[in-house]
Structure 1
Amino acid sequence: MATYTPMIQQYLTIKAEYEDAFLFFRLGDFYEMFFEDATRASQELEITLTSRDGGGAERIPMCGVPYHSAPTYIERLVEKGYKVAICEQVEDPRQAKGVVKREVVQVISPGTLMNEKGLHEKENNFISSVTVFEDGTYGIAFSDLSTGENSVTLLTTSWEDVVAELYIREAKEIVVDAEFSAERLQQLKERKVITVSYENNATLDSNFEHLVEELQQQKLVATFARLVNYLIRTQKRSLEHLQSVQFYQINQYMKIDLFSKRNLELTETIRTKGKKGSLLWLLDKTVTAMGGRLLKTWIDRPLLQQQEIENRLNMVETFMNQFFEREELRELLTDVYDLERLAGRVAFGNVNARDLIQLKKSLQKIPEIQQVILRLNHSYATELVEGMDPCERLEQLLERGLKDHPPLSIKEGDIIKDGYHDQLDQYRDASRNGKSWIAALEQREREKTGIKSLKIGYNRVFGYYIEVTKANLHLLPEGMYERKQTLTNAERYITPELKEKETLILEAEEKIVQLEYDLFLQIRDEVKTYIPRLQALAKVVSELDVLQCFAKISEERHYTKPTFSTNRDINIENGRHPVVEKVMNAQEYVPNDCVMSDDSQMLLITGPNMSGKSTYMRQVALTAILGQIGCFVPADRAILPIFDQVFTRIGAADDLISGQSTFMVEMLETKNAVANATQSSLILLDEIGRGTSTYDGMALAQAIIEYIHEHIGCKTLFSTHYHELTVLEKELSMLKNVHVSAIEKNGKVVFLHKIKQGAADKSYGIHVAELAELPESLIERARIILNEFEQPKEKDIIKDEAMKVDHNVGKEEQKEVETVTTASQLSFFEAEQKKEAKQMTSLVKSEKAVLNQLRDLDVLEMTPLDAMNALYQLQKSLKKK
């Protein structure tokens, strides 16, 4: 380093402390990057890479971004998972002796982002810490720095459950100690984009002990302490908005593993990874950002306590019945700002006057919201709003202190109202009267000199001046004004009186700006004291928002209030898949029942491809989830048990990143279900075994069905194309066959999408291929091959029959009988043998025709009399033969 210039040495010293971040090094009006940072940043940000002399043998790579546009570039880096350390000049360059002193003032990372542009208003932005304890347990803490929410849990199971929890909460960054397993971190990075940071200090700072008062275990405190210490070290500012840590257990809520969350498309779709097309997209009729975030949390965490579920459902019912109050509430909520994130910005010190005006308007709506909710005359609603704190004194302070339309910047003045502060009013009076005096002086001088174009102007270099055009200079008496500046077409002058007023005016304006800034900071500090009350208020407002949202969507989509059974019965009448129904024309959607009582714990679902088996299975799971988050469900009537867990294996997908095939993914997801499900769980398994050979797949599918039936006994929907498995209905007392019906018309398949009792008779695979418009020649060839597979070769039938007719013949004679099976050898047979073979062939063909007629009969669609007549005709035909 000795060979580098002092400034580059300073850069390298600071960079050594932040090796895992881009160092934005402040130089005047730019943030500069050097060495490897410059090379990588120029590629990631697509900016010009240059170089400079740094005192060494070679020029140093360098790139930079303007100070005023830095937030945009920082956001782009953070979106890609990088961290950015902001290094500012912390002393006045004019007073510096040598290199200007610089320090990192903040580290911005995916989990600590506070800039509104980089945050999704209806999504939390969690940073997490994970601690592995000596007994094999895992502590996980979550914090949303933008809202101040904190939670912690302890897992005694496996690393896979830790990964699932991080996935479900969508943590953007994970904080671990330096000894944490690199292999496990790599597994985590492979499964999702996540930034890894390190913090070894797990001792809680005394300033944050009040946040963990309700935590009973030291493990939980240590886990949270690691996270807080990382935030203190990187943010270097007030964290007063952090809320008390909430302890939760994953078994407090319905457990939906990451496979099921993905397969059911609860918050994002499988194909696009976007919100549109998910359950969250369908339900989100929330008005506030806080409500949107709470809705997502509720979807991730369905309830298990029936009383809590009933409280929500009853509120939804009340909102549905009282339309005008609900619509009035929605209108009031449109004027409620994001109180949670506003509190975070107040604590962080990056709130502006416009934000506080939004806060004032929000608080002004709270009394009106309370009145609307009280008119509902509902006990749970009344309990909610009676605890609402409108923070009246804060609202009055903001109303009295801040102008209604302040500028974006807090350092340019024009923020504080007249009458709020005496000294400020005096300065403003001097400034306003001084300007009035200038205007009056201009008029007097025009009259005195007779020069109508005379004017008094101002610039920052010379201050106030009197300007006279050269054409009018002869009208000025000699020595009347003191010449200050000569222009091409005019002369500028000053007078002692004008300079005196200038000093008064400029001093007042300068003091106004500084005093307004100081007064704003005082108001902001006062708002800080209300942060806990604002956060508590936000929780009530967001809950009301989600409940009215459920009512609105339930009314629009004609959902019904579910009831919950204690005997684990399912009785869904005309149930629908909520998202598919919305995407399709509601008139075209075919609803289906799902009835599973004590004697039917498992439904074995058969039917053709594209007929709706997967949709049917998903809609049962989504109905259960909707009911347990407190929303009405898409059905005419619904009786449901309370499920503790939902497991799904639906759809085929390779996990190429982890090197796992479709079949391996299928087996892993199935293993997760059978290993963790209880009698109170719901399992959905779609075409298990299709990823391997037919016999392997069929054997596995049957074994899985039997295992769930005998060892778990939970509600299970199992769809399959292995029609051979339908015989299990006779062997397994709790299994029932159902199928999705389809019919053939003019050689084309028509899907009825209707669930009926019994097993399907055909799979219609070739018909589906035809619908997909595969080449006609390919379809025709498939039909021929299928026919060959379905009908045993004639020669094999003849051989079998011949062997049965005369099994006592000697070996030589037996060989002659076997030759009947080969058409090329018929010419060597005697005429009698030929005749016998032809008769047997004719007999077999006749019987085959009768069998084909029997197979084509749709017994379920026939009346008993029609079935008997058909059977009589077939028997008569056989007797003739």
Structure 2
Amino acid sequence: MTAVTGLPPTMADRKDDVTPMLSQYVELCEQHPDALVLFQVGDFYEAFCEAAEEVARVCEVTLTQREDSTGEYPMAGIPIDNAASYLERLVEADYRVALADQVEDAEEASGLVDRAVTRVITPGTVVEDELLAAGSTTYVASVVERDAANGERDGYGIAAVDASTGECFVTTVPTRGDVREELDRIQPNELLVAGDAPTVAPDGDWMESAVDAELFEPTVARDRLAEYVADPDRRLDNDAEQRACGAVLAYAEYTQGDDGPLEYVSRIRRHDQRDQLRLDAAALRSLELFDNRGPGSGETVFDVLDETASALGRRCLDRWLRRPLVDRAAIEDRLDAVDALVDDGVVRSDLSDLLAEAYDLERLAGRVSRERANARDLRALHATLSIVPELKERIADIPALSDHHARLDELRDVATLIDEAISPEPPMELTEGGVIKQSFDDELDALRTTEQEGREWVADLEATERERTGIDSLSVGHNQVHGYYIEVTNPNLDQVPDDYTRRQTLKNAERFYTPELKEREDEIFGAAERADSLEYELFCEVRETVAAETDRIQALATTIAELDALCSFSIAATEGDYVRPELRAASDDAHISIHGGRHPVVETTQAEFVPNDTDLAGGDVAIITGPNMSGKSTYMRQVALICLLAQTGSFVPAEAATLPVLDRIFTRVGASDDIAGGQSTFMREMSELTEILHDATDRSLVLLDEVGRGTSTADGLAIAQATTEFIHDELDATTLFATHYHGLTDLADEREGVHNLHFAATREGDDVTFLHRVAPGASSASYGIEVARMAGVPTPVVDRARDVVATMTGDASDSSVADNATDAADSHPTSDNDTATDPAASAAAADDALADALAEQTLDPETVAAVAAELQALDIATMTPLEALNTLDSLRSQLDEE
């Protein structure tokens, strides 16, 4: 995180000599040394000296110079009315921003206006609507290593809080790797680190913030938690959880400017990794649940399923996808609800329409509890409460939603209070009147009546005085400085009555008042001022009453969110032609049976998607061969996604599916260099493989794609074979293994649980057609040279490669025959000197032949160098086949131009 002090050391050292306002600024900077202090001066937030230079640079505002008795120094400001966009830039640049507001009325201040930091904005504690995306979550998290009774390390406590909604949860994980998995699932915006302590999860996408190590002290944390939960020792599992949770809550309090607990953080939930289908960062990434790295539609699994109508539902759907269930009964409950909504299109449509009218109750409750809600927020709450009776009516006859029906608290007392107290269309400002509804308070009504009658009397005064004085040009007006006045032009001054008292002299006229006008003015202003003050008091009382029901509002928010997520599942199922999956009993093995399975995202991007069946007994290892671009990776991912969606409670894209309840999905699909971490593609691949081989169980699903490709052919094949044997013999994990090492297919003859699948293709001459259909047995050809030709590799290179393969296999007539011969050679290597049958030697010879063929081309050296540079910069491991083809075509075009 970037740290900026408000004043240079030279000025800070002599703060007693600077002007009072600058001294006040530097004191606030010293109180918040880790933040950039923005100092309210009238209608602007100002920064001075070094901080001003940073604000000017990041926010792209003008850097000016301020001059006083201390000399000149930089100053930059942002308008308060339009501060959100500038604050967003500062937070995105990893600054903490401390807002120092004027906490005293400037007109009533005797001397320097008092200022105090009322809010610290950080990436993980943003609560302003203008800085938050609808339906998003913003977490600040902390991790504490647990000390076992014997003094040894014993796992880690992890806690996170969303300061905008009050959501707070905590868990314990056993290893450092599990810490990273949990943080990758949470995706916090900010991670707290105790003082100079090293982080337990480096290189994350979150900002690390060093905080006082005292926040993590057991006694301090427990005392903090005692203000949120009655018995921290009972509610939280261990000391590490208490310390982690206490620290994030203390930090959240600090950033919100609160001296006490955040009242809307009323439910601290514990969860256990064993109670959910575990998905690590590799699985989240490769299955593209929330991030699509390809060049296609850009849609993710979340995008396809997201038919939610409200921000509440969107957050719920996100949580469900990140933490699929493992409790069979809970999964069936969700499936029952989705099934009911799929069957009743009228209810489904009505629910979606009603839920679209729901405001974000979680954030509304947070603002109400923090006393930052305005009258429009309360009306938004009322608008949401008004749909609850209709929601209950729509689902009253659906048994699968009976629990939700019971939990739909109408909060009639709250709704009635808001409706009776708050104007239907109140202003944004709370202190300028028009907030409280007429007839809510007798005293306020009397004050408003006095004010209104006075203004009506003034409105009639002009006509009355014209008639009384005979001055036709006489007018009655008002301004902020002098109040009400009667204006008479200079030619008519001789007609002014004796009871007129001069108030103001103008160039061409005089302004007067009368005793009665002065009396009415005092009544009007007095009534208006008292009414505005009383309105604010009444509003605060209403808001406080509503805040006392925060728990009920949050419980209602949870119920509405779940209904919206279930409705979203049902809409996606109806529009996508999904089916309800059947779940196997816990006593059954992890047998996966899918008929006509489809990939939920890929099928939306293709006019004709080819469905495929899957029949994998628990512990089976399927070796999948076939050409590149034939559909191996899509097939593996769709099997994993169908299992995952089922455990979220969603219907699945298939004609039928009978599935086990898995404990974890592992993926080793694609990789790229981790340059910052000092890992090559192969090293990263092996690291991910290590985790699988250590942690997979007989209830896990493992996807392996081209394991071993990052090293020599011989070493890669050896690793791939040893991995397959270990998974089959030791782990008994259900596995899909896509490979170009055809030698692996022989394992099907050696081990009962290993069998071969392949993706077929047809060939006519040099044209290859991929059928995208899985079938039993091993692939008969790889069609590597044909794919190279389709990708645009120059013809001389393709022809030379055919010659090399034909030479190695002894048959120049058909490259598919050459592929078969090479496949056979992969299965039966002879000696290191036999290049015709040794796969490693054959591959090396082919590489050399391709290199020679390229070398024979007469190309401009500069063009070759440019193409080579582009090739070297490509992140091949994360490219899709289509992206690779387009890129190769572009590079070939550059060469063809020569």
What is the TM-score with the length of structure 1 in the denominator? 0.85
The aligned residue for residue 674 of structure 2 is 655
The aligned residue for residue 141 of structure 1 is 159
Shifted more, 474-483 versus 287-296: the winner is 474-483
Q: 1:573 to 1:464 in 2, by over 3 A?
A: same
The aligned residue for residue 122 of structure 1 is 135
Partner deviation per Cα, 1:394-437 (whole Å, 9 max, x = no partner) = 10000100110011111211111110011110111111111111
Q: Post-superposition shift, 1:268?
A: 1.5
Q: How does 1:171-320 map to 2 (within 5 A)?
A: 171-181=188-198, 184=199, 188=202, 190-199=203-212, 200-201=214-215, 202=217, 203=220, 204-205=223-224, 206-210=226-230, 212=232, 214-237=235-258, 239-271=262-294, 276-320=298-342
Q: Distance in 1 between matches of 2:44 and 2:325?
A: 52
Q: 1:535 to 1:250 in 2, by over 3 A?
A: same
* Native 8 Å contact 2:62 2:76 kept in 1: yes
Q: Distance in 2 between matches of 1:528 and 1:23?
A: 30
Partner deviation per Cα, 1:63-84 (whole Å, 9 max, x = no partner) = 2223333333222211232211
Q: Which amino acid aligns with 2:540?
A: L
Q: Post-superposition shift, 1:146?
A: 0.9
Q: Post-superposition shift, 1:360?
A: 0.6
* Native 8 Å contact 1:623 1:633 kept in 2: yes
Partner deviation per Cα, 1:316-353 (whole Å, 9 max, x = no partner) = 11111111111111111111111111110111221111
The aligned residue for residue 372 of structure 1 is 394
Structure 2 residue 787 is matched with structure 1 residue 738: no
Q: Name the larger-Rg structure.
A: 1
The aligned residue for residue 822 of structure 2 is none
Q: Post-superposition shift, 1:480?
A: 6.7
Shifted more, 452-461 versus 726-735: the winner is 452-461
Q: 1:582 to 1:275 in 2, by over 3 A?
A: closer
The aligned residue for residue 388 of structure 1 is 408
Q: Which amino acid aligns with 1:147?
A: T
Q: Distance in 2 between matches of 1:67 and 1:748?
A: 66
Q: Which amino acid aligns with 2:14?
A: A
Q: Distance in 2 between matches of 1:86 and 1:737?
A: 64
Q: Distance in 2 between matches of 1:745 and 1:689?
A: 32
The aligned residue for residue 665 of structure 1 is 684
* Native 8 Å contact 1:283 1:550 kept in 2: yes
The aligned residue for residue 482 of structure 2 is 462
Structure 2 residue 96 is matched with structure 1 residue 78: no
Structure 2 residue 185 is matched with structure 1 residue 168: yes
* Native 8 Å contact 1:416 1:516 kept in 2: yes
Q: Distance in 2 between matches of 1:418 and 1:251?
A: 56
Q: Distance in 1 between matches of 2:413 and 2:719?
A: 69
* Native 8 Å contact 2:590 2:698 kept in 1: no
Q: How does 1:478-517 map to 2 (within 5 A)?
A: 479=498, 481-517=500-536
Q: Distance in 1 between matches of 2:615 and 2:54?
A: 60
Q: Distance in 2 between matches of 1:447 and 1:53?
A: 58
Give 3-state SS (helix, strand or coil) of 1:208's partner: coil
Q: Post-superposition shift, 1:451?
A: 4.7
Q: Post-superposition shift, 1:223?
A: 2.2
Partner deviation per Cα, 1:495-554 (whole Å, 9 max, x = no partner) = 222222111111111222111111111111111111000011111111111111111110
Shifted more, 782-791 versus 751-760: the winner is 782-791
Partner deviation per Cα, 1:533-591 (whole Å, 9 max, x = no partner) = 00111111111111111111101100011012223221111100000011222xx1000
Q: Distance in 2 between matches of 1:533 and 1:364?
A: 15
Q: Which amino acid aligns with 1:373?
A: I
The aligned residue for residue 779 of structure 1 is 798
The aligned residue for residue 47 of structure 1 is 61
Structure 2 residue 604 is matched with structure 1 residue 582: yes
Q: Distance in 2 between matches of 1:491 and 1:60?
A: 47
Q: Which amino acid aligns with 2:144?
A: T
Partner deviation per Cα, 1:634-690 (whole Å, 9 max, x = no partner) = 000101111100000112322222121111111111111111100110000001111
Q: 1:407 to 1:92 in 2, by over 3 A?
A: closer
Q: Post-superposition shift, 1:713?
A: 1.1
- Identity between Structure 1 and Structure 2 (%): 39
Q: How does 1:471-870 map to 2 (within 5 A)?
A: 473=492, 476=495, 479=498, 481-565=500-584, 566-585=588-607, 588-597=608-617, 601-791=620-810
* Native 8 Å contact 1:211 1:243 kept in 2: no
Q: Distance in 1 between matches of 2:124 and 2:503?
A: 58
The aligned residue for residue 2 of structure 1 is 14
Give 3-state SS (helix, strand or coil) of 1:492's partner: strand
Q: Distance in 2 between matches of 1:477 and 1:542?
A: 71
Q: Post-superposition shift, 1:462?
A: 1.8
Aligned residues: 781
Q: Post-superposition shift, 1:782?
A: 3.1
* Native 8 Å contact 2:146 2:239 kept in 1: no
The aligned residue for residue 419 of structure 1 is 439
Q: Distance in 2 between matches of 1:486 and 1:89?
A: 36
* Native 8 Å contact 2:195 2:210 kept in 1: no
Structure 2 residue 413 is matched with structure 1 residue 400: no
Q: Which amino acid aligns with 1:550?
A: F
Q: Post-superposition shift, 1:193?
A: 3.2
Q: 1:97 to 1:298 in 2, by over 3 A?
A: same
Q: Distance in 2 between matches of 1:637 and 1:160?
A: 36
Q: Post-superposition shift, 1:474?
A: 7.5
Q: Distance in 2 between matches of 1:365 and 1:496?
A: 55
Shifted more, 694-703 versus 609-618: the winner is 694-703
Q: Which amino acid aligns with 1:77?
A: L
* Native 8 Å contact 1:125 1:172 kept in 2: yes
Q: Which amino acid aligns with 2:134?
A: E
Q: Distance in 1 between matches of 2:305 and 2:505?
A: 72
Partner deviation per Cα, 1:583-630 (whole Å, 9 max, x = no partner) = 222xx10000011135x7011000000111000000000000000000
Unaligned runs of 5+ in 1: 795-881
* Native 8 Å contact 1:141 1:223 kept in 2: yes
Q: Distance in 2 between matches of 1:773 and 1:792?
A: 25
Shifted more, 770-779 versus 419-428: the winner is 770-779
Structure 2 residue 30 is matched with structure 1 residue 16: yes
Q: Distance in 1 between matches of 2:284 and 2:307?
A: 21
The aligned residue for residue 872 of structure 1 is none
Q: Distance in 2 between matches of 1:442 and 1:353?
A: 37
Q: 1:571 to 1:207 in 2, by over 3 A?
A: closer
Give 3-state SS (helix, strand or coil) of 1:210's partner: coil
Structure 2 residue 120 is matched with structure 1 residue 107: yes
* Native 8 Å contact 1:267 1:275 kept in 2: no
* Native 8 Å contact 1:210 1:244 kept in 2: no
Q: Post-superposition shift, 1:792?
A: 8.1
Q: Which amino acid aligns with 1:257?
A: D
The aligned residue for residue 876 of structure 1 is none
* Native 8 Å contact 1:81 1:195 kept in 2: no
What is the TM-score with the length of structure 2 in the denominator? 0.83
Q: Post-superposition shift, 1:5?
A: 0.8
